[in-house]
A and B are shown apart, each in its own frame.
Chain A
């Protein structure tokens, strides 16, 4: 069965610092992986996705993630944090049947000036 583990429920960085949000997955089939961001009182917005092909995926707002099969990881990074990046981030993997996404518990990113 597919599952996702997000390491660290809360990450704090300074403005301009590197952002690293960790996600490890478990999947019995080649995974489709996603990162979503959720701002307060809003729905989830797709940041980026990995399906097949290039393992380094670039998304919106300067975020990127690298699929590493050997490490079963899909960590999200951004070279320089902005105050506007403060939000909840969710990693997800598509289920085997392709009918749903399985989400992690989320990581809250705080950015201080």
Chain B
């Protein structure tokens, strides 16, 4: 596609529930990134994929968070047993190189855990 697409744009879930957030990167971009942005803060790195594999998952806060990219294109961020502190905007970005040229970000998914 022309840009990075993220769905849904908004998600409200109850504490303890499981959620999946989807990212459709720019066609042909091999690098894909997930970030989390809390209110009043800059984006915080979660995970980086190069192709199908997670090349760096050091930003995932705990084992409730998991992400996949099975065919090297679309990625899904999965959060188990959601907590109110998980409420944030989750941003996806893709790049045609390893990031030296900058990323293209999607508009994000606003997750609210009630």
| Chain A complexes with chain B | yes
Q: Which residues of A contact B (CB under 8 A)?
A: 32, 34, 36, 41-46, 49, 51, 90, 92, 94-95, 97-106
Contacts from B to A (Cβ < 8 Å): 4, 33, 40-45, 48, 55-56, 59, 91, 93, 98-108
A97 pairs with B56, CB closer than 8 A: yes
- In the complex, 19 of the A-B residue pairs with CB atoms within 8 angstroms, ordered by the A residue number, are A34-B102, A36-B105, A42-B107, A43-B4, A44-B93, A45-B105, A94-B100, A98-B99, A98-B100, A99-B48, A99-B56, A99-B98, A100-B59, A100-B99, A101-B43, A101-B103, A103-B43, A105-B42, A106-B40
Q: Which residue of A lies closest to B55 (CB)?
A: A99
* Distance A49 CA – B107 CA, assembled complex (angstroms): 21
CA distance A34 to B43 in the complex (A): 13
Contact status A100-B56, CB under 8 Å? yes
Bound state CA distance, A45 and B15, in angstroms?
32
Q: Out of A43, A45, A90, which one reaches B42, CB within 8 Å?
A: A90
Chain A minimum-CB-distance residue to B46: A100
- B99/A94 in contact, CB under 8 A: yes
Q: Please give the distance in Å from A105's CB to the nearest CB on chain B.
A: 5
| A108 (CB) vs chain B CBs: closest residue | B40
Provide the residues of chain A in CB contact with B56, threshold 8 Å: 97, 99-100
